[in-house]
Structure 1
Amino acid sequence: MTLVFAWSGGKDATLALHRLREAGVEPVELFTTGSAETDRTSMHGVRWRLIREQANALDIPHRRVDIPDNADNETYEKTMAALLEDYAARDVTEIAFADLYLEDIREYRERNLQNTPIDGRWPLWNEPTDETAREFIDLGYQATLVCVTDHLGPDFLGRTYDHDLLADLPDDVDPCGENGEFHTFVHDGPHFDHPVQFDHGDTVTRALDDTTHHYLDLT
């Protein structure tokens, strides 16, 4: 078995990677999608340099997958198809994802893998998100909220993902932000050789898919 990991830089990906490594499974590569125009990751808006430093601290090779900013679905799927073709040629047999329970996202990923020799793997699938959140914190990982929607509010930007934050989340916000309410950047913890250093920069607000997102720039 040869496994690569769809890496976001956030807490769910970090916990999924932790589970794999504790089970003796070592990814040969992490890959992250993002934009060459913005020099940031797609979902979390984190600078590429910080993602590279994460991978260095985790001691795993990292692959940057550039997708044009505001690309349509056809462009995205062509890029991912080329990625899967390359991985298949390298005898990769599995891709691990950190999805928790959104069936439509898992079905979409499975459709993309359907005509390839590569299987999907979901280390955290269908686990209760309140337990998953507490496990991540109790293991000693350190994460910061770097993106929130208006549903949670910009006051949560920059906060540490810890038990106090979980207690402050509104009842209708998933403890892991699985519905997109927030995203995190992990900078230290088990399996990190050293902490990833950063400062808090400016806050940026953007409307995406009829939802307002607030981003904290980590510099």
Structure 2
Amino acid sequence: MNEMDRPPTQVLLSWSSGKDSAWALHRLRQDPDFEVVGLFCTLNQAFERVAMHGVRRELLQRQAQCVGLPLTEIMLPWPCSNEEYARIMGEFVAGVRARGITHMAFGDLFLEDVRAYREQQLASTGITALFPLWGSDTRLLAREMMAAGLRAHISTLDPGKLPASLGGHGFDEALLAALPADVDPCGERGEFHTLAVDGPMFLRPLEILVGETVIRDGFVFTDLLPADAINPPPG
């Protein structure tokens, strides 16, 4: 079999529900050497929401349908110790490898410690970590995403870095203009997290409503809801 006849490498993509995961999917789908065959996401079992992003499980499931990929949900207890996390993720990775999948992709941009941790966790598993967005200039990347039609809303933010009033705000030029100078345009240092709702990686848009914003555990969470929610937020 020559290089031209070799089938693409099957990849599972770490899926946070946010813009960077969505853009990583877009990049991988543009590369004929890879085929994204599924998504995986960690959720807080007690609240049934995506870890850190605070996105409702129902929205996550609908989002996966909108991008046309099967989703594996990894439920984490709350609170979750480092040992428990390592055990749960280790069991998941072992199951992935047993399926014959050898590559997992992540949407990390430039945090060396995060990349090193992922590579260390996978080092002895037979799984290779891919980072399709690695080293991107986030000022350019943010505008590249927007120009391509990616749409997202802030689901979580750090009020020590951003005004709470930006909760639920769209990921757009107005947001970039409102960001303090020391905040990364893609929120890579945890300044904010998003829910992606449309873009070139979507088969159809994820329709949502922007609900109430609350402060919990030192972070600002905006409740994003399905557009057909029975009790939509006022206004």
TM-score, length basis structure 2? 0.89
2:201 aligned partner: 191
Is the Cα–Cα contact under 8 Å of residues 168 and 224 in structure 2 kept in the other structure?
A: no
Alpha-carbon displacement from aligned partner over 1:111-140 (angstroms, at most 9, x marks no partner): 100111100000010111101111110100
CA distance in 2, matches of 1:163, 1:204: 24
2:173 aligned partner: 163
Say which is worse superposed, 175-184 or 146-155, in terms of deviation.
146-155
CA distance in 2, matches of 1:203, 1:131: 29
1:8 aligned partner: 16
2:117 aligned partner: 108
One-letter amino acid matched to 2:219: H
SS of match in other structure, 2:208: coil
One-letter amino acid matched to 2:20: D
2:91 aligned partner: 82
**In the alignment, which of 134, 141, 146 is matched to residue 143 of structure 2?**
134
SS of match in other structure, 1:78: helix
Measure how far apart 1:178 and its partner are: 0.5
Alpha-carbon displacement from aligned partner over 1:31-85 (angstroms, at most 9, x marks no partner): 0001221010101000011111111011111010000022011111101000110
One-letter amino acid matched to 1:74: E
Measure how far apart 1:162 and its partner are: 0.7
Measure how far apart 1:4 and its partner are: 0.2
CA distance in 1, matches of 2:45, 2:131: 28
Structure 2 alignment gaps of length 5 or more = 1-8, 226-235
Say which is worse superposed, 92-101 or 190-199, in terms of deviation.
190-199
CA distance in 2, matches of 1:110, 1:26: 21
1:21 aligned partner: 29
Q: How many residues were matched structurally? A: 215
Measure how far apart 1:26 and its partner are: 2.4
Matched, 1:144 2:153: yes
1:215 aligned partner: 221
Q: List aligned pairs for 1:30-49, cutoff 5 A.
A: 30-49=39-58
Structure exhibiting the larger radius of gyration computed from Cα positions? 2
Measure how far apart 1:191 and its partner are: 2.6
CA distance in 2, matches of 1:204, 1:111: 36
Structure 1 alignment gaps of length 5 or more = none
Say which is worse superposed, 90-99 or 20-29, in terms of deviation.
20-29
1:65 aligned partner: 74
CA distance in 2, matches of 1:38, 1:9: 16
Is the Cα–Cα contact under 8 Å of residues 25 and 201 in structure 2 kept in the other structure?
A: no
Say which is worse superposed, 17-26 or 114-123, in terms of deviation.
17-26
Over the matched positions of the two proteins, sequence identity in percent amounts to 41
